[in-house]
Protein backbone atom coordinates (compact mmCIF):
# COMPACT_ATOMS: atom_id res chain seq x y z
CA UNK A 1 0.00 0.00 0.00
CA UNK A 2 1.46 3.39 -0.98
CA UNK A 3 0.62 6.79 0.44
CA UNK A 4 1.57 10.34 -0.40
CA UNK A 5 4.17 12.38 1.42
CA UNK A 6 3.36 15.63 3.25
CA UNK A 7 4.29 18.68 1.14
CA UNK A 8 7.74 20.18 1.60
CA UNK A 9 7.93 23.69 3.12
CA UNK A 10 7.34 26.83 1.06
CA UNK A 11 10.61 28.29 -0.14
CA UNK A 12 12.27 24.87 -0.41
CA UNK A 13 14.97 25.16 -3.07
CA UNK A 14 14.38 22.37 -5.59
CA UNK A 15 16.94 22.05 -8.36
CA UNK A 16 19.97 20.32 -9.79
CA UNK A 17 23.75 20.41 -9.51
CA UNK A 18 26.73 20.35 -11.89
CA UNK A 19 30.44 21.21 -12.01
CA UNK A 20 32.20 23.33 -14.62
CA UNK A 21 34.79 20.75 -15.66
CA UNK A 22 32.10 18.11 -16.18
CA UNK A 23 29.74 20.16 -18.37
CA UNK A 24 31.37 23.22 -19.92
CA UNK A 25 33.93 21.92 -22.40
CA UNK A 26 35.68 24.77 -24.25
CA UNK A 27 38.74 23.90 -22.19
CA UNK A 28 41.00 26.27 -24.15
CA UNK A 29 38.50 29.00 -25.08
CA UNK A 30 37.80 32.39 -23.58
CA UNK A 31 41.28 32.82 -22.16
CA UNK A 32 40.90 29.79 -19.91
CA UNK A 33 44.09 28.22 -18.58
CA UNK A 34 44.59 24.52 -17.96
CA UNK A 35 43.14 22.96 -14.82
CA UNK A 36 44.03 19.68 -13.18
CA UNK A 37 41.00 18.16 -14.93
CA UNK A 38 42.63 18.77 -18.30
CA UNK A 39 45.27 16.16 -17.39
CA UNK A 40 42.82 13.65 -15.85
CA UNK A 41 41.41 11.87 -18.91
CA UNK A 42 40.24 8.85 -16.91
CA UNK A 43 39.16 10.42 -13.63
CA UNK A 44 40.74 9.34 -10.37
CA UNK A 45 41.29 5.77 -11.51
CA UNK A 46 44.62 6.32 -13.26
CA UNK A 47 47.67 8.59 -12.85
CA UNK A 48 47.53 12.06 -14.37
CA UNK A 49 48.69 12.70 -17.94
CA UNK A 50 51.53 15.06 -18.84
CA UNK A 51 49.18 17.39 -20.67
CA UNK A 52 45.78 17.51 -22.39
CA UNK A 53 44.96 14.41 -24.44
CA UNK A 54 42.28 13.81 -27.04
CA UNK A 55 40.71 11.00 -25.02
CA UNK A 56 39.72 13.46 -22.28
CA UNK A 57 35.96 13.86 -22.68
CA UNK A 58 36.04 16.99 -20.51
CA UNK A 59 37.65 18.97 -23.33
CA UNK A 60 34.19 19.16 -24.91
CA UNK A 61 32.11 17.62 -22.09
CA UNK A 62 28.48 18.40 -23.01
CA UNK A 63 29.35 21.83 -24.47
CA UNK A 64 27.46 23.80 -21.83
CA UNK A 65 29.82 26.69 -22.60
CA UNK A 66 27.96 27.22 -25.86
CA UNK A 67 24.59 25.71 -24.94
CA UNK A 68 24.00 27.12 -21.45
CA UNK A 69 20.89 29.11 -22.49
CA UNK A 70 19.20 26.00 -23.91
CA UNK A 71 20.09 23.93 -20.86
CA UNK A 72 18.97 26.49 -18.29
CA UNK A 73 15.68 26.85 -20.19
CA UNK A 74 15.20 23.09 -19.79
CA UNK A 75 15.89 23.38 -16.05
CA UNK A 76 13.28 26.14 -15.89
CA UNK A 77 10.81 23.89 -17.70
CA UNK A 78 11.20 21.41 -14.84
CA UNK A 79 10.51 24.22 -12.40
CA UNK A 80 13.97 24.52 -10.86
CA UNK A 81 14.10 27.05 -8.02
CA UNK A 82 17.90 26.77 -7.88
CA UNK A 83 20.80 25.66 -10.09
CA UNK A 84 24.10 24.69 -8.53
CA UNK A 85 27.10 25.22 -10.79
CA UNK A 86 30.77 25.84 -10.21
CA UNK A 87 33.04 28.49 -11.61
CA UNK A 88 36.20 27.24 -13.31
CA UNK A 89 39.05 28.89 -11.40
CA UNK A 90 41.30 28.79 -14.48
CA UNK A 91 38.69 30.75 -16.51
CA UNK A 92 39.03 33.61 -14.02
CA UNK A 93 42.75 33.29 -13.20
CA UNK A 94 44.25 31.11 -15.98
CA UNK A 95 47.40 30.22 -13.99
CA UNK A 96 45.90 30.92 -10.59
CA UNK A 97 48.60 33.32 -9.40
CA UNK A 98 47.91 36.38 -11.59
CA UNK A 99 47.21 39.76 -10.06
CA UNK A 100 44.14 40.50 -12.21
CA UNK A 101 41.25 38.28 -13.37
CA UNK A 102 40.43 37.36 -16.95
CA UNK A 103 37.53 39.54 -18.04
CA UNK A 104 36.39 37.10 -20.73
CA UNK A 105 35.95 34.41 -18.10
CA UNK A 106 34.02 36.72 -15.77
CA UNK A 107 31.77 37.77 -18.64
CA UNK A 108 30.85 34.16 -19.42
CA UNK A 109 29.43 33.63 -15.94
CA UNK A 110 27.60 36.96 -16.18
CA UNK A 111 25.78 35.46 -19.17
CA UNK A 112 25.00 32.27 -17.25
CA UNK A 113 23.58 34.36 -14.40
CA UNK A 114 21.55 36.39 -16.91
CA UNK A 115 19.82 33.18 -18.00
CA UNK A 116 19.19 32.09 -14.41
CA UNK A 117 17.63 35.47 -13.61
CA UNK A 118 15.54 35.38 -16.77
CA UNK A 119 13.94 32.14 -15.57
CA UNK A 120 13.73 33.04 -11.88
CA UNK A 121 16.32 30.43 -10.87
CA UNK A 122 18.42 31.12 -7.77
CA UNK A 123 22.10 30.38 -8.48
CA UNK A 124 24.07 28.29 -5.98
CA UNK A 125 27.75 28.77 -6.82
CA UNK A 126 30.66 26.53 -5.86
CA UNK A 127 33.89 28.52 -5.81
CA UNK A 128 36.24 25.52 -6.13
CA UNK A 129 34.95 22.19 -7.46
CA UNK A 130 37.85 19.86 -8.28
CA UNK A 131 39.41 22.27 -10.78
CA UNK A 132 42.53 23.83 -9.31
CA UNK A 133 44.55 25.62 -12.03
CA UNK A 134 47.22 23.22 -13.28
CA UNK A 135 49.94 25.85 -12.79
CA UNK A 136 49.18 25.94 -9.06
CA UNK A 137 49.49 22.15 -8.90
CA UNK A 138 52.76 21.96 -10.81
CA UNK A 139 54.52 25.05 -9.47
CA UNK A 140 53.26 25.11 -5.88
CA UNK A 141 52.15 21.48 -5.25
CA UNK A 142 48.61 22.70 -4.75
CA UNK A 143 47.19 23.16 -1.28
CA UNK A 144 50.32 21.79 0.40
CA UNK A 145 51.66 25.31 -0.17
CA UNK A 146 50.38 28.10 2.08
CA UNK A 147 50.63 30.52 -0.87
CA UNK A 148 47.40 29.02 -2.22
CA UNK A 149 45.45 30.66 0.59
CA UNK A 150 46.26 34.07 -0.85
CA UNK A 151 45.59 33.00 -4.44
CA UNK A 152 42.22 31.55 -3.42
CA UNK A 153 41.30 34.68 -1.45
CA UNK A 154 42.04 36.82 -4.51
CA UNK A 155 39.91 34.50 -6.64
CA UNK A 156 37.03 34.46 -4.14
CA UNK A 157 37.17 38.26 -3.83
CA UNK A 158 36.97 38.61 -7.62
CA UNK A 159 33.85 36.41 -7.72
CA UNK A 160 32.12 37.98 -4.73
CA UNK A 161 32.87 41.50 -5.94
CA UNK A 162 31.53 40.75 -9.41
CA UNK A 163 28.55 38.52 -8.59
CA UNK A 164 27.85 39.09 -4.89
CA UNK A 165 24.80 41.23 -5.63
CA UNK A 166 23.41 38.50 -7.92
CA UNK A 167 24.30 35.30 -6.05
CA UNK A 168 22.96 34.69 -2.55
CA UNK A 169 24.29 31.18 -1.90
CA UNK A 170 27.98 30.23 -2.10
CA UNK A 171 29.94 27.04 -1.36
CA UNK A 172 33.66 27.37 -0.69
CA UNK A 173 35.04 23.92 -1.64
CA UNK A 174 33.30 20.89 -3.08
CA UNK A 175 33.51 17.84 -0.78
CA UNK A 176 36.43 19.40 1.07
CA UNK A 177 37.06 16.16 3.01
CA UNK A 178 37.74 14.28 -0.24
CA UNK A 179 41.29 15.67 -0.29
CA UNK A 180 42.16 12.82 2.09
CA UNK A 181 41.19 10.29 -0.59
CA UNK A 182 41.94 12.07 -3.87
CA UNK A 183 44.66 14.66 -3.15
CA UNK A 184 45.34 15.60 -6.80
CA UNK A 185 41.72 16.00 -7.88
CA UNK A 186 40.50 17.58 -4.64
CA UNK A 187 43.59 19.50 -3.55
CA UNK A 188 45.64 20.01 -6.70
CA UNK A 189 48.50 18.20 -4.93
CA UNK A 190 50.91 17.10 -7.64
CA UNK A 191 52.96 14.82 -5.40
CA UNK A 192 51.69 11.26 -6.04
CA UNK A 193 49.45 10.01 -3.25
CA UNK A 194 51.77 7.13 -2.34
CA UNK A 195 54.65 9.59 -1.88
CA UNK A 196 52.67 12.20 0.05
CA UNK A 197 53.48 12.48 3.75
CA UNK A 198 50.73 12.68 6.35
CA UNK A 199 52.16 16.02 7.46
CA UNK A 200 51.88 17.51 3.96
CA UNK A 201 48.38 16.10 3.45
CA UNK A 202 46.95 17.44 6.71
CA UNK A 203 48.75 20.75 6.26
CA UNK A 204 46.98 21.02 2.88
CA UNK A 205 43.68 20.31 4.64
CA UNK A 206 44.44 23.12 7.10
CA UNK A 207 45.24 25.56 4.30
CA UNK A 208 41.90 24.80 2.62
CA UNK A 209 40.01 25.28 5.88
CA UNK A 210 41.67 28.66 6.46
CA UNK A 211 40.93 29.65 2.85
CA UNK A 212 37.29 28.65 3.35
CA UNK A 213 37.07 30.93 6.40
CA UNK A 214 38.72 33.72 4.40
CA UNK A 215 36.11 33.39 1.66
CA UNK A 216 33.42 33.79 4.33
CA UNK A 217 35.24 36.89 5.61
CA UNK A 218 35.36 38.36 2.10
CA UNK A 219 31.64 37.67 1.64
CA UNK A 220 30.85 39.52 4.88
CA UNK A 221 32.82 42.51 3.54
CA UNK A 222 31.73 42.77 -0.08
CA UNK A 223 28.40 40.87 -0.22
CA UNK A 224 26.89 41.00 3.27
CA UNK A 225 23.55 39.63 2.06
CA UNK A 226 25.25 36.45 0.78
CA UNK A 227 25.21 33.17 2.67
CA UNK A 228 28.31 30.97 2.66
CA UNK A 229 28.25 27.25 3.27
CA UNK A 230 30.78 24.46 3.49
CA UNK A 231 30.28 21.32 1.42
CA UNK A 232 31.24 17.88 2.67
CA UNK A 233 30.95 14.34 1.40
CA UNK A 234 28.46 12.66 3.74
CA UNK A 235 28.86 8.92 4.16
CA UNK A 236 27.41 7.48 7.37
CA UNK A 237 29.28 4.52 8.81
CA UNK A 238 27.26 1.80 10.51
CA UNK A 239 28.76 -0.84 12.82
CA UNK A 240 28.72 -4.21 11.05
CA UNK A 241 27.57 -5.81 14.32
CA UNK A 242 26.56 -4.72 17.85
CA UNK A 243 30.08 -5.59 19.04
CA UNK A 244 31.23 -2.42 20.89
CA UNK A 245 34.53 -2.58 19.01
CA UNK A 246 32.58 -2.38 15.73
CA UNK A 247 30.58 0.57 17.09
CA UNK A 248 33.84 2.35 17.94
CA UNK A 249 35.27 1.55 14.50
CA UNK A 250 32.18 3.08 12.87
CA UNK A 251 32.39 6.18 15.07
CA UNK A 252 36.07 6.64 14.22
CA UNK A 253 35.36 6.41 10.49
CA UNK A 254 32.35 8.73 10.77
CA UNK A 255 34.48 11.35 12.46
CA UNK A 256 36.84 11.41 9.49
CA UNK A 257 34.10 13.28 7.64
CA UNK A 258 32.37 14.97 10.58
CA UNK A 259 35.58 16.79 11.53
CA UNK A 260 35.27 19.05 8.49
CA UNK A 261 31.80 20.17 9.51
CA UNK A 262 32.89 20.55 13.13
CA UNK A 263 35.68 22.93 12.12
CA UNK A 264 33.54 24.95 9.70
CA UNK A 265 30.67 25.32 12.19
CA UNK A 266 32.48 25.49 15.54
CA UNK A 267 35.62 27.23 14.37
CA UNK A 268 38.19 24.97 16.00
CA UNK A 269 39.73 21.54 15.71
CA UNK A 270 37.93 18.85 17.76
CA UNK A 271 39.90 16.78 20.25
CA UNK A 272 39.44 13.50 18.38
CA UNK A 273 40.92 15.10 15.24
CA UNK A 274 43.92 16.44 17.18
CA UNK A 275 44.47 12.95 18.59
CA UNK A 276 44.51 11.52 15.07
CA UNK A 277 47.16 14.07 14.08
CA UNK A 278 49.28 13.31 17.16
CA UNK A 279 49.16 9.58 16.51
CA UNK A 280 50.13 10.16 12.87
CA UNK A 281 53.10 12.25 14.01
CA UNK A 282 51.68 15.38 12.41
CA UNK A 283 52.42 18.82 13.82
CA UNK A 284 50.39 21.39 11.93
CA UNK A 285 51.78 24.83 11.25
CA UNK A 286 48.91 26.96 12.54
CA UNK A 287 49.27 30.72 13.05
CA UNK A 288 47.34 32.82 15.54
CA UNK A 289 45.71 34.51 12.55
CA UNK A 290 44.59 31.10 11.26
CA UNK A 291 42.93 30.34 14.59
CA UNK A 292 41.21 33.71 14.69
CA UNK A 293 39.87 33.32 11.13
CA UNK A 294 38.51 29.83 11.78
CA UNK A 295 36.81 30.97 14.97
CA UNK A 296 35.26 34.19 13.69
CA UNK A 297 34.21 33.26 10.16
CA UNK A 298 32.10 30.13 10.54
CA UNK A 299 29.58 29.08 7.90
CA UNK A 300 25.93 30.09 7.58
CA UNK A 301 24.81 26.62 6.49
CA UNK A 302 26.15 23.13 5.87
CA UNK A 303 25.77 21.50 2.46
CA UNK A 304 26.69 17.98 1.53
CA UNK A 305 26.62 15.21 -1.04
CA UNK A 306 25.01 11.90 -0.21
CA UNK A 307 25.25 8.76 -2.29
CA UNK A 308 26.15 5.84 -0.03
CA UNK A 309 26.55 4.56 3.49
CA UNK A 310 29.19 2.05 4.58
CA UNK A 311 29.74 -0.43 7.38
CA UNK A 312 32.76 -0.71 9.63
CA UNK A 313 34.21 -3.50 11.75
CA UNK A 314 37.16 -3.93 14.06
CA UNK A 315 37.55 -7.57 12.97
CA UNK A 316 40.25 -7.87 10.26
CA UNK A 317 38.75 -11.19 9.12
CA UNK A 318 35.53 -9.40 8.15
CA UNK A 319 37.18 -6.62 6.19
CA UNK A 320 36.21 -8.05 2.83
CA UNK A 321 36.82 -6.05 -0.32
CA UNK A 322 34.33 -6.13 -3.14
CA UNK A 323 31.28 -4.60 -4.73
CA UNK A 324 29.43 -2.20 -2.50
CA UNK A 325 32.38 -0.62 -0.72
CA UNK A 326 33.99 1.56 -3.37
CA UNK A 327 34.36 4.27 -0.70
CA UNK A 328 36.05 2.03 1.85
CA UNK A 329 34.45 0.28 4.78
CA UNK A 330 32.79 -3.07 4.21
CA UNK A 331 29.60 -3.93 2.31
CA UNK A 332 26.28 -3.81 4.14
CA UNK A 333 24.58 -7.20 3.76
CA UNK A 334 21.15 -5.52 3.85
CA UNK A 335 21.69 -3.21 0.86
CA UNK A 336 21.80 -3.50 -2.91
CA UNK A 337 24.40 -1.73 -5.03
CA UNK A 338 24.30 0.31 -8.24
CA UNK A 339 26.06 -0.79 -11.45
CA UNK A 340 29.16 1.00 -10.14
CA UNK A 341 29.16 -0.68 -6.74
CA UNK A 342 27.63 2.20 -4.75
CA UNK A 343 25.29 0.79 -2.11
CA UNK A 344 21.80 2.31 -2.16
CA UNK A 345 20.53 3.46 1.23
CA UNK A 346 17.71 6.06 1.23
CA UNK A 347 17.24 5.83 5.02
CA UNK A 348 20.91 6.78 5.40
CA UNK A 349 20.01 10.24 4.07
CA UNK A 350 17.52 10.72 6.90
CA UNK A 351 20.18 9.48 9.33
CA UNK A 352 22.69 12.04 8.02
CA UNK A 353 20.20 14.91 8.10
CA UNK A 354 19.28 14.20 11.72
CA UNK A 355 22.89 13.63 12.75
CA UNK A 356 24.08 16.88 11.17
CA UNK A 357 21.16 18.91 12.54
CA UNK A 358 21.55 17.54 16.06
CA UNK A 359 25.30 18.14 15.93
CA UNK A 360 25.47 21.62 14.37
CA UNK A 361 22.01 23.26 14.48
CA UNK A 362 22.75 24.92 11.13
CA UNK A 363 20.45 24.86 8.09
CA UNK A 364 21.29 21.92 5.83
CA UNK A 365 21.36 21.79 2.04
CA UNK A 366 21.52 18.50 0.11
CA UNK A 367 23.50 19.62 -2.94
CA UNK A 368 24.27 16.22 -4.49
CA UNK A 369 22.28 13.00 -4.61
CA UNK A 370 21.57 10.79 -7.57
CA UNK A 371 21.97 7.49 -9.38
CA UNK A 372 24.62 6.91 -12.01
CA UNK A 373 23.32 4.35 -14.51
CA UNK A 374 23.57 3.28 -18.13
CA UNK A 375 20.63 4.76 -20.03
CA UNK A 376 19.22 3.67 -23.37
CA UNK A 377 17.53 6.01 -25.84
CA UNK A 378 14.20 4.60 -27.07
CA UNK A 379 11.16 5.79 -29.00
CA UNK A 380 7.92 6.13 -27.02
CA UNK A 381 4.89 7.37 -28.96
CA UNK A 382 7.24 8.85 -31.53
CA UNK A 383 9.30 10.72 -28.94
CA UNK A 384 12.97 9.94 -28.26
CA UNK A 385 13.45 9.44 -24.53
CA UNK A 386 14.86 7.23 -21.78
CA UNK A 387 12.53 5.16 -19.62
CA UNK A 388 14.51 5.55 -16.41
CA UNK A 389 12.12 4.14 -13.83
CA UNK A 390 15.16 3.00 -11.80
CA UNK A 391 16.27 6.63 -11.40
CA UNK A 392 12.76 7.76 -10.48
CA UNK A 393 12.57 5.04 -7.82
CA UNK A 394 15.97 6.00 -6.39
CA UNK A 395 15.20 9.71 -6.19
CA UNK A 396 11.66 9.15 -4.92
CA UNK A 397 12.88 6.95 -2.08
CA UNK A 398 15.58 9.42 -1.07
CA UNK A 399 13.21 12.39 -1.19
CA UNK A 400 10.69 10.53 0.96
CA UNK A 401 13.42 10.28 3.60
CA UNK A 402 14.17 14.01 3.24
CA UNK A 403 10.49 14.62 3.98
CA UNK A 404 10.75 12.39 7.04
CA UNK A 405 13.77 14.37 8.27
CA UNK A 406 11.87 17.64 7.82
CA UNK A 407 9.02 16.13 9.85
CA UNK A 408 11.66 15.23 12.46
CA UNK A 409 12.34 18.95 12.81
CA UNK A 410 15.45 19.21 10.63
CA UNK A 411 15.83 22.52 8.80
CA UNK A 412 16.52 21.59 5.17
CA UNK A 413 17.05 24.48 2.74
CA UNK A 414 16.86 22.54 -0.49
CA UNK A 415 17.76 19.57 -2.64
CA UNK A 416 19.75 19.58 -5.89
CA UNK A 417 20.13 16.27 -7.69
CA UNK A 418 23.59 15.55 -8.99
CA UNK A 419 24.07 15.77 -12.74
CA UNK A 420 20.60 17.12 -13.53
CA UNK A 421 21.78 16.94 -17.14
CA UNK A 422 24.12 14.12 -18.21
CA UNK A 423 27.76 15.05 -17.66
CA UNK A 424 31.23 13.53 -17.55
CA UNK A 425 31.68 11.45 -14.40
CA UNK A 426 34.27 12.74 -11.93
CA UNK A 427 35.38 9.35 -10.68
CA UNK A 428 35.70 7.51 -14.01
CA UNK A 429 35.49 10.35 -16.61
CA UNK A 430 32.79 8.41 -18.48
CA UNK A 431 29.66 9.75 -20.10
CA UNK A 432 27.95 6.38 -19.93
CA UNK A 433 27.55 6.82 -16.17
CA UNK A 434 24.51 9.05 -16.50
CA UNK A 435 22.69 10.90 -13.74
CA UNK A 436 20.52 13.42 -15.56
CA UNK A 437 16.89 14.12 -16.26
CA UNK A 438 18.18 15.20 -19.67
CA UNK A 439 20.03 12.77 -21.95
CA UNK A 440 22.97 14.19 -23.89
CA UNK A 441 23.85 12.34 -27.09
CA UNK A 442 27.54 11.68 -26.56
CA UNK A 443 29.25 8.40 -25.71
CA UNK A 444 32.45 7.32 -23.97
CA UNK A 445 34.33 7.53 -27.28
CA UNK A 446 33.31 11.16 -27.71
CA UNK A 447 30.91 10.42 -30.55
CA UNK A 448 27.40 11.87 -30.77
CA UNK A 449 25.37 14.91 -31.77
CA UNK A 450 25.23 16.53 -28.32
CA UNK A 451 21.48 16.79 -28.79
CA UNK A 452 19.38 16.94 -25.61
CA UNK A 453 16.47 14.57 -24.92
CA UNK A 454 14.09 14.62 -21.95
CA UNK A 455 14.03 11.37 -19.99
CA UNK A 456 10.92 10.02 -18.27
CA UNK A 457 12.36 11.38 -15.00
CA UNK A 458 12.19 14.92 -16.45
CA UNK A 459 8.40 15.09 -16.17
CA UNK A 460 8.47 13.15 -12.90
CA UNK A 461 10.76 15.72 -11.24
CA UNK A 462 8.73 18.59 -12.69
CA UNK A 463 5.65 17.16 -10.95
CA UNK A 464 7.53 16.68 -7.68
CA UNK A 465 8.53 20.34 -7.74
CA UNK A 466 5.12 21.58 -8.83
CA UNK A 467 3.41 19.68 -5.98
CA UNK A 468 6.06 20.58 -3.36
CA UNK A 469 6.80 16.88 -2.99
CA UNK A 470 3.18 15.78 -2.55
CA UNK A 471 3.46 13.56 -5.63
CA UNK A 472 6.16 11.41 -4.02
CA UNK A 473 5.05 7.87 -3.21
CA UNK A 474 5.75 6.31 0.16
CA UNK A 475 5.72 2.58 0.77
Catalytic site residues?
175, 368
Residue 156, burial from CB neighbour count under 10 angstroms (0-12, 13-18, 19+) = buried
Query: Phi, psi (5° rounding) for residue 368?
Result: -155, 130
Beta bridge pairs of residue 365: 303, 414
Closest CA to 458 of 366, 397, 384: 384
d(CA 179, CA 315): 27
Q: How far apart are CA 85 and CA 123, in angstroms?
A: 8
Amino acid sequence: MSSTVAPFPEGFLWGGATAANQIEGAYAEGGKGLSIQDVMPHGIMTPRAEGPTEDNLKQVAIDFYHRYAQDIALFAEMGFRTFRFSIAWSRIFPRGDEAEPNEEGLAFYDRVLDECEKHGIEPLVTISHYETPLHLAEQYDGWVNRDLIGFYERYARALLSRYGHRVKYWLTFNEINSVLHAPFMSGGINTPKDQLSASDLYQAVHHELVASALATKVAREVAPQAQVGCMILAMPAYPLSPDPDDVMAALTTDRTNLAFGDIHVRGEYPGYYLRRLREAGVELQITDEDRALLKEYTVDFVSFSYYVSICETADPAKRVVGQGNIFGGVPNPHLQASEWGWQIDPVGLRVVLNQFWDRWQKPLFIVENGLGAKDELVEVDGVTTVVDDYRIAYLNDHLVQVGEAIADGVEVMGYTTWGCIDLVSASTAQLSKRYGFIYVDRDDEGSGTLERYKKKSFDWYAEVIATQGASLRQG
